[in-house]
Amino acid sequence: MPQSLHQAYAHIIFSTKERRPWIQPELETRLYEYLGGICNHLGASPIQINGMPDHVHLLIRTSKSIADTDFMQHLKGDSSHWLHQQGQQIFAWQSGYAWFSVAAKDLAIAKEYIIKQKSHHQTITFKDELRRFLEQYNVHHDERYLWG
């Protein structure tokens, strides 16, 4: 085949350090736009970004030119730096993240889930939400290290 073709999608979830509510409404939209810009710069395509004061969800078409771990390092590091420039003197992302693959046929479902973050979290905590994803995707994990 004379060309390289790539189509992979991911639902990414990560939280603020200690799940502190640092993403306030006045900053939220600009942060999501900035995260989308980082994705574009790294060769990924943001499809949907949303979250809560203590965590974010991104649905992206992944980049074929950067490893997932390097992508996350740039996404979190660059956005943290930007938040500090915006006056968020005390801000940090939690060290880990969750990265789940999404089939192309399931994009609409994943997108709708991310859009409805505010309503989901009226009835479920972030911890329970993440546990559900880990169970759904059969990701083995050690609860002792999940929230550190």
pTM reported for the whole predicted model: 0.94
> Mean pLDDT over all residues of the chain?
94
What tokens appear for 55 in the block? 């965590």
Averaged over 56-81, what is the pLDDT?
A: 97
Residue 1 pLDDT > 70, yes or no? no
Averaged over 8-21, what is the pLDDT?
A: 96
Structural domains in the chain, CATH included, are 9-146 (3.30.70.1290)
* Count of alpha carbons within 13 angstroms of residue 110, beta-carbon side: 24
Residue 147 pLDDT > 80, yes or no? no
